[in-house]
Amino acid sequence: MSVPSPDRPQPIGRPAAAWYGRSMAVRRRRRVVVAGLLVLLTANSLLGLGYGLTAAATPATSLTSAAVGLVLTLILTGVLAVEWRLGDRLLASTDAARRRGDRLAHYDSLTRLPNRRVLERELAECCLGTPPLGAAFALHLVDVDDLKAINDGFGHDTGDDVLRTVAQRLRAAVRDTDLVARLAGDEFVILQRDATPATAANLAQRMVETLRLPLREHTTAIVPTVSIGTALFGPGRTQPNQLL
């Protein structure tokens, strides 16, 4: 509601909410005036700019002006609602684009594993003793053997299937606290937290056995094999580049 001038201390007519569910007919004997609508909204334009919108009406002096004022108020309210909805959609679209960009920056598009950037960050935190303080860990480098031969013999789509299958099996072989990342090409890395020499050796052996399971391509069974190198955090291996 808006007070049009200082000499009118009270809003004129009825607020918009008073009309919900009621007849808007104007009675002849009793002049009913639509007081106007004060709209205080922060909308977002299609350009992403925020702006404030305010609408106010002066007292109607006749039935015609009251009807015109009501129509204009309804039109303005509809326009604001559309603009507000468009702004919300634009914000949602922008937020979705930001999330997609974040995924592309931190995850491999083929295997959906964390990429080298995430690995280097997690590895640096482990080397600094960021929690748990002083906990030992192991780093396993997994190299898929003869991926080029698979690409040449069966096509790159099959080679991609092999990489995706390796990624899925590696994830299934580790704990939730461990990290599986794709380093580059046919190389994967597992960051095994709270590891000892014995648990690191057991995980490496389990990964070899899991990855030996055949992958069937039409009538041909492809048996992916891998080579695994393991390094444990300790004297002489306290920096990420030393471990890698």
Cα–Cα dist 90/122, whole Å: 34
DSSP secondary structure letter of residue 34: B
Determine which one of 7, 145, 186, 194 is catalytic.
Answer: 186
Cis peptide before 214 (omega within 30 of 0): no
Q: Evaluate whether 151 touches 206 at the Cβ level (below 8 Å).
A: no
204: left (phi over 0), alpha (psi -120 to 50) or beta: alpha
| Cβ neighbours for 23, distance < 8 A, ≥ 6 positions apart | none
The SS3 assignment for 53 reads: strand
186 among known catalytic residues? yes
Q: Evaluate whether 196 touches 230 at the Cβ level (below 8 Å).
A: no
In DSSP notation, 178-235 reads SEEEEEETTEEEEEEES--HHHHHHHHHHHHHHHTS-EEETTEEE---EEEEEEESBT
Residues recognised as catalytic: 186
